[in-house]
Amino acid sequence: MYGRIKERYCFEFDRIGTDGDHVHILVGAAPRYAPSNIMQIIRNITARQLFEKYPEIKEQLWGGEFWHDGGYIGTVGEGITEEIIKNYIEEHGKPEEKEGYKQMKIMEF
């Protein structure tokens, strides 16, 4: 899934993690994409492909939507380095959550 996004949009997925009810993704992209567009592209494609592969999950979701409307976007710069973001992603989440998403074959970095 992410392999297709990477090829089509030239995004570089570096880290992914979860912290219970949300996801952290460190992704690099060409400057032609605004950060909000990057998030929108990832959300649209992942939701569509997950619903195609697992249509039953749509019935279990609030309002049938995979992603919540909200979100936070942080960027590298002004005192925030790539290493700080990588460490943040790696340190968050419970061990059982980390083990669970290791098993997911959705992400192909």
Superfamily (CATH H level) for 2-102: Transposase IS200-like (3.30.70.1290)
The first and second tokens of residue 102, run together, are: 């290791």
Higher pLDDT, 3 or 35: 35
CB 14 within 8 A of CB 88: no
Supply the pLDDT for residue 108.
45
* Distance of alpha carbon 7 from alpha carbon 71, whole angstroms: 24
Q: pLDDT per residue over 78-97, tens digit each?
A: 889 999 999 988 888 777 76
Supply the pLDDT for residue 109.
34
Q: pLDDT per residue over 25-79, tens digit each?
A: 899 998 999 999 999 999 988 888 888 888 888 888 877 888 888 888 888 888 8
CB 10 within 8 A of CB 29: yes
* Distance of alpha carbon 14 from alpha carbon 29, whole angstroms: 11
Q: Is the pLDDT of residue 3 over 70?
A: no
Q: In sequence order, what are the residues at sequence separation of 6 or more whose Cβ sits closer than 8 angstroms to the Cβ of residue 93?
A: 17, 18, 19, 20
Which sequence spans correspond to the domains of the chain? 2-102
